[in-house]
Structure 1
């Protein structure tokens, strides 16, 4: 074990204690807090009224500009015209008044005209004929003082002098004219014009001159203002107009003053509203940041200590997650500082997908997604530009989208060993996403700026891939992790040990490839690591290269040397291949998982052939002496490889394998291992063993399917024999 592994092993030993577990999360939280502290610190700017601004200042929050809002409301209120209401009842009242005056005149005419009285009345009451003045007096008595005051004497005289027919004609004409004119809107300034209009309408009356003048005078008197200012409705209209005014706000991120721009009273007032002139210190941003960090790490604490069952795996994951987090956050802060110094959008070059790719390859998809969401959230704070307090959500989306893209790309089997290819593909997707953000925000840039954004997006993708490939060996060495990339390297046919098997033990090599095919399919069927099973199968019999000819698959038309050996000697040679294989793999610095497969694939099974041979020679032979030393399979992959190893050898020795015979044989071997307790230390279930059996049968039926015998082939074979 190298120094790095020893160091991390010591740390994992400390993490067994809850105190150090909590301490690690506190350290990570303080680290994140320290990096983001300056990004939430309230900014105090030095500005003076009527002096140029030394820097461009953006608002850190959205606040309402109450002064401008009130100004806008006042302006809108002034624009609302006064509301005038038409008093329709005025027309009816005046028509009724005119009608009453004429009716009163008709009554006076009847009362004072002897021709209208009955004959008996005339003889009994021989009253003298009333004079016009007396008639006028009687008429006035029938009317009110207010009405009498507004009517000229000549009008009364004309009314009492006219006969009933004239009065009726005049009444109808006057009422019609007054009603027509008073039905329209008459403002105070329009009264005189309305009176002229009623005079014009009465000009066509077919009555004598005095009566006509009287009617005209009465009509003019009846025409009055019927439209008046409606205070309540006017105020209601103004209230609605004021309520429709949207509050004028200073938006978060909005530029309040440009560099070298004169700070006038309006700008100064906006700076004060945005809190830049407030000299009082506030702790709320720091409390908010602390609470945010606490919530995120509390969620991860819950996951690591309540969702992961295997302790050793838990501590490995926690340490790897912590290291990747620290590395990513430090890189993020460095990029943000450089972007601020150069006053450019350099943040888009941040290799955010690096963390997702490392966690995806080293750990699992869940933690990779969690990591990229965490970095995206913190990125909104760290990449908030030159305005502390802002949250750059576009940058957060960019980091999250890039990381999720990397996880999806690496999820494809063909891309597990092609990190650089995945980085190039991710660069194109990053570039498309950056342009989508630019177009959504309707930002206008020059051609060079567009090229700059494209180059930054490509740099982010390629940089993530390069950093991932560069850091993977350190994590693999430090934690003894067997990554997919490492497995694919070991599966290379040009690997020295694989070439040694091929050259020195070709039969074993062929057998190992067959076992690899069987084990990989079976492991993938039960959700285990199929790639590990394949690579482990390649090397599971590497120990046979020490004595290749003592194993039947390498004996080509040769005498079996075991026929001349004692059972004890044969036993030692056969059993030694598992022990020798483990030692050879350790000497070549192979991962522990591959070494375990070589040592455990036979478990503690019995060498039945040599045991029974020895039993015939000596009845006192103990069964334990002819068992492999083990240990038994601990991983599911080892259990599956052990089954596939026995099944492949057994089926290959069958003369005419059929699907029924193959299924019977596979069932027997699995059941024999179960009854022998070979899976007692492995968490493989009966249901998974049933799936393994089905997968092995399918694969073997495809390999050993029956072939049609062609006559021509038989003849050709006979000629070759001759």
Structure 2
């Protein structure tokens, strides 16, 4: 494992140079292109006309079937009925004609009939009385030749013989009947029926029979065809009907011909349209895939170059991200190949959430989300059913949804230590999501197929958790990563070193637990790793187990051995616990962060008690000789643990701690360390130190709160009466 760690260390050293960073992304891009090359490679098929197909062929793209579209347009055009328009002006013309005939007849009646004149006038006009033949002649003169041709002589005779009142009654009735009948649509075939209808309407007139016959004849003459074929409107309707026809398309993924199905002319034509019979190769799918991969990796290169500020972590994160990506893509391709071989939807068992879990635990949430989006995008191509050009968006959604769900689950408190529990919960959610996809697509499946899909989805969740737990130790060891799971393992009270502290130095153990509580709260208050602070506090004084009796917390009812020692000897013993602690932790292969806490929690602070004691004996004593060797705190967690260590010991030695005294003491210790330069190599800010002070005071006030003073017995040893 050390060789692997050294190998990755050398790679990280190379990644410092921009050239090797670009080279890594090029390698990742080529690897991805190689995996997905077969998924976009145009498929060539061997088919012959009027022979069964040797395979099921699906369209790789959506194309319009122009032949069937034109056929559909012709069929729709034929179904459009001819449009006939109603000539409304015909009604008015015929009504006006009938009205004019009757008006002319009334005028002739007035001019030639003196019956209603005064007696004097009658004598004067006797010479003007006309015969019926003359009246008919006068009436015809008032009308046109065309009208005269269409009217029978008997009609003219009846008109001139009728009096004015009869003519008016006949006029009104005839006009009304003609208007009613002609207002409706009358085709050429309906003219005779319309004439019968108008005669029926005139049958109720109360006039003499001759006048009634004349009215019927005039009305029948007025009834003509009033609807005619409208060529322009017919063409317009057909044009609209043709435009409404949706183009008939061969859809991407649609089965053109099934295995052993006869390839007739229609199927052969569709295969030609879809490009399967085209012998010329195209490079567009390859260019599209190359462009897609370039865009995605260019975005991630920009992210890693400009968004990650900590250079110590940048190359570590880049290398871990790359390895997880390669592993996930290889797994994805393997699952897709197996699914194609077995001709089943085995792809739902792909443990896509594994990558999200690993990146979430090893790195951070942002990179985990980026990873799962990248895998989901590539999954739409890899899980395309080996149909070039096809994209399985449902599988892409499944991968992204499962990965995001895993990230959310692991974001809950204490779930980082329960990856398997998270996997089980993810399995149930995966199963529900797969069922939702199947129901939305309205697929017709058997009960066994539903069970199969559900089992595959559950296997994906559990498999992701198992693979995550199995791969975590390799990443942690290979990259020296201190994950939350590793920290929780080290926090186990049954750990051999914690048992050693508890048994050999119980006072130190109690002190370490108190420091852990204080440091964890303070680190979480400033946004640092509270779990690292807690676990580091447990082991920060492990070096004291070599000489536990020389430290005051372990001196219970015994003489302090330092009273009999020279200051130089006491100094060496006290200072040695930081160095010894680091060596012990290294020998047990503890993470570097825990070792640093043990060595750095005192920084280069001064052993004031023994320095002043030595100063009294020899005024030439150098202050530097009584300082810890350091180094000073490099991390915020170490700085906070150092403050909590001093504060806990100081407050515990106070006789009657009050909130005011505790706050004054904490402020003094923090200011003393600032002035001593103990935080000069750490990026902790003054604002964060103020937050740390507030958090420590709150925690200490809760621990050292005032207690009720119970009354003492009257006499020592006196028995309490029942």
User: Fold match, TM over 0.5?
Assistant: yes
**Whole-Å separation in 1 of the counterparts to 2:404 and 2:314:** 23
Deviates more, 1:223-232 or 1:383-392: 223-232
Alpha-carbon shift at residue 553 of structure 1 (Å):
1.0
Number of residue-to-residue matches in the alignment: 722
Give the distance between the partners of 1:578 and 1:521, measured in 2 at CA. 24
**Distance in structure 1 (CA, Å) of the matches to 2:708 and 2:207:** 133
Aligned to 1:131: 131
Q: How far apart in 2 are the matches of 1:641 and 1:463?
A: 39
CA drift at 1:689: 0.8
- The C-alpha deviation readout for 1:358-413, integer Å capped at 9, x for no partner, is 11111111111111111111111101113121111111111111111221222223
**CA-to-aligned-CA distance 1:605-626 (integer Å, 9 cap, x gap):** 0000011111111111111111
Q: Residues 332 and 379 of structure 1 are in contact (CA less than 8 Å); yes or no, is this contact kept in structure 2? A: yes
Cα gap change, 1:671/1:718 in structure 2, threshold over 3 Å: closer, same or farther?
A: farther
Contact 1:110 1:116 in 2 (8 A): no
- The secondary structure found in structure 2 opposite 1:259 is coil
* CA apart distance, 1:124: 8.2
Give the 5 Å matches for 1:386-397.
Answer: 386-397=386-397
Alpha-carbon distance, 1:546 to partner: 1.4
1:215–1:423 Cα change, 3 Å: closer
1:64 offset after TM fit, Å? 3.2
The alpha-carbon deviation at position 157 of structure 1 amounts to 3.3
Change in Cα spacing, 1:115 to 1:319, as seen in structure 2 (3 Å) is: same
Q: CA deviation digits over 1:395-454, x for unaligned, max 9? A: 111111111122122222322222222222221221121112112212222222122212
Inter-CA distance 121–12: structure 2 relative to 1 (3 Å threshold):
same
Shift of the alpha carbon at 1:658? 1.3
The structure-2 alpha-carbon separation of the partners of 1:71 and 1:559, relative to structure 1 and needing over 3 Å to count, comes to same
Seen in structure 2, the aligned counterparts of structure 1 residues 719 and 530 have a Cα distance that, compared at 3 Å, is: farther
- Measured in 2, the distance between the counterparts of 1:224 and 1:372 equals 80
- Residue 185 of structure 2 corresponds to which residue in structure 1? 185
Change beyond 3 A, Cα 1:612–1:69: same
Structure 1 residues 454 and 4: alpha-carbon distance in aligned structure 2, compared to 1, 3 A threshold: same
Deviation larger for 706-715 or 525-534: 706-715
User: 1:287/1:96 Cα in 2 relative to 1: closer, same or farther (>3 Å)?
Assistant: same
Shift of 1:506: 1.4
Once residues 685 and 114 of structure 2 are traced to their aligned partners in structure 1, the CA distance between those partners, rounded to angstroms, is 133
Q: Aligned-pair distance for 1:106?
A: 2.8
| CA deviations over 1:539-585 (Å, ceiling 9, x no partner) | 11111111111111111111111111111111111111111111111
Structure 1: gaps spanning 5 or more residues: none
Matched residue SS, 1:228 = strand
SS at match of 1:114: coil
Alpha-carbon offset, residue 183 of structure 1 = 2.8
Alpha-carbon distance in 2 for matches of 1:228, 1:422: 79
1:352 maps to: 352
Per the TM alignment, residue 128 of structure 1 is displaced from its structure 2 partner at its CA by 7.0
Alpha-carbon shift at residue 216 of structure 1 (Å): 2.5
Q: Distance in 2 between matches of 1:457 and 1:123?
A: 121
Please state how far the C-alpha of 1:68 moved relative to its aligned partner. Answer: 3.2
User: Residue 505 of structure 2 corresponds to which residue in structure 1?
Assistant: 505
Over the aligned positions, Cα root-mean-square deviation in angstroms equals 2.5
Q: Secondary structure at the match of 2:170?
A: helix
- When structure 1 is superposed on structure 2, of 591-600 and 469-478 the one drifting more is 469-478
Flag the 1:403–1:124 CA change in 2: closer, same or farther, 3 A: closer
> How high is the TM-score relative to the length of structure 1?
0.95
Q: In structure 2, do the counterparts of structure 1 residues 175 and 462 end up closer, same or farther at CA, with 3 Å as the change threshold?
A: closer
CA separation of 1:210 and 1:435: change in aligned 2, threshold 3 A: closer
Kindly state the Cα deviation for residue 336 of structure 1 after the two structures are TM-superposed: 0.5
Classify the secondary structure of the residue corresponding to 1:501: helix
- 1:129-208 to 2 correspondences below 5 Å: 130-208=130-208
Question: 2: distance between equivalents of 1:562 and 1:21?
Answer: 57
Deviation at 1:206, TM superposition (A): 4.2
> Contact 1:528–1:637 at 8 Å: present in 2 too?
yes
The 3 A distance-change label for structure 1 pair 226 and 714 is farther
Distance 1:485 1:390, change over 3 A: same
* Residues 516/126 of structure 1: CA separation in 2 closer, same or farther (3 Å cut): closer
Instruction: Identify if the C-alpha distance between structure 1 residues 447 and 208 changes in structure 2 by more than 3 Å, giving closer, same or farther.
Output: closer
- Hey, what's the Cα distance between the residues in 1 that align with 2:114 and 2:704? 145
- Structure 2 distance, partners of 1:429, 1:176, is 80
Deviation at 1:163, TM superposition (A): 4.0
Indicate how the Cα distance of structure 1 residues 391 and 116 shifts in structure 2: closer, same or farther if over 3 A, else same.
same
8 Å CA contact retained: 1:525, 1:692? yes
- CA-to-partner distance for each residue in 1:291-316, whole Å, 9 max, x for gaps? 11111111111111111112121010
Q: Distance in 2 between matches of 1:706 and 1:167?
A: 127
CA contact 2:114–2:125 (8 Å) conserved in 1 = no
- SS, match of residue 256 in structure 1: strand
Residues 44 and 277, structure 1, Cα contact 8 Å, conserved in 2 = yes
Contact 2:112 2:128 in 1 (8 A): no
Deviations 1:259-308, CA, capped at 9 Å, x for gaps: 22222333333333333333332222112111111111111111111111
Which secondary structure state, in structure 2, belongs to the residue aligned with residue 684 of structure 1?
coil
- In 2 relative to 1, CA 524–112 (structure 1 residues): closer, same or farther, beyond 3 Å? same
- Given that residues 484 and 531 in structure 1 are in contact (C-alpha distance below 8 angstroms), is that contact kept between their aligned partners in structure 2? yes
SS at match of 1:718: coil
- 2:465 equivalent in structure 1: 465
Q: 1:147 Cα deviation (Å)? A: 0.9
Query: Relative to 1, partners in 2 of residues 1:255 and 1:714: Cα closer, same or farther, differing over 3 Å?
Result: farther
Distance 1:584 1:208 in 2: 139
Deviations 1:237-262 (A, max 9, x none): 44444444443333322222222222
| Cα distance change of structure 1 residues 403 and 119 upon mapping to structure 2, 3 Å threshold | same
How big is the shift at 1:713? 7.9
1:130/1:719 CA distance change after superposition, 3 Å: same
Give 1:534 shift. 1.1
Structure-1 separation of matches of 2:226 and 2:461 = 80
**Once structures 1 and 2 are overlaid, which stretch shifts more, 116-125 or 520-529?**
116-125
Matched residue SS, 2:228: strand
Whether contact under 8 Å (1:28, 1:322) holds in the other structure is yes
Q: Is the contact between residue 659 and residue 697 of structure 1 (CA under 8 Å) also seen in structure 2?
A: yes
1:122 and 1:172 map into 2 onto residues whose CA distance is: 30
Quickly say closer, same or farther: Cα 1:197–1:500, change in 2 above 3 A: closer
Change (3 A) 1:442 1:172: closer
Residue 510 of structure 1: CA displacement?
1.3
Aligned-pair CA distance for 1:118 = 8.6
Distance in 2 (alpha carbons) for counterparts of 1:6 and 1:684:
31
Q: Distance in 2 between the 1:602 and 1:259 partners?
A: 78
- Give CA-to-partner distance per residue, 1:671-693, whole Å, 9 cap, x none: 10001000000000111111111
Task: Provide structure 2 residue ranges, at least 5 long, that are not aligned to the other structure.
Answer: none
Structure 1 628/102 Cα, relative in aligned 2: closer, same or farther at 3 Å? Answer: same
Displacement of 1:107 in angstroms is: 2.4
Q: Partner residue of 1:315?
A: 315
Kindly indicate whether the alpha-carbon contact (under 8 Å) linking 2:354 and 2:468 is maintained by their aligned counterparts in 1: yes
Higher mean displacement: 500-509 or 127-136: 127-136
The residue aligned with 2:118 is 118
Moved more, 321-330 or 41-50: 41-50
What secondary structure does 2:115 align onto?
helix
User: Which residue is equivalent to 2:39?
Assistant: 39
Cα distance in 2 for partners of 1:352, 1:714 equals 74
Question: Which deviates further from its counterpart, 268-277 or 187-196?
Answer: 268-277
The CA deviation string for residues 309-345 of structure 1, in whole angstroms up to 9 with x for no partner, is 1212101000111111111111111111111111111
Query: Any conservation in 1 of the 2:191–2:225 contact (CA below 8 Å)?
Result: yes
Contact 1:135 1:160 in 2 (8 A): yes
In 2: Cα distance, 1:267 partner to 1:581 partner: 80
Farther-moved stretch of structure 1 (93-102 vs 80-89): 80-89
Residues 172-207 of structure 1 deviation map (CA, whole Å, 9 limit, x = unaligned): 333333233223332211111222223334344444
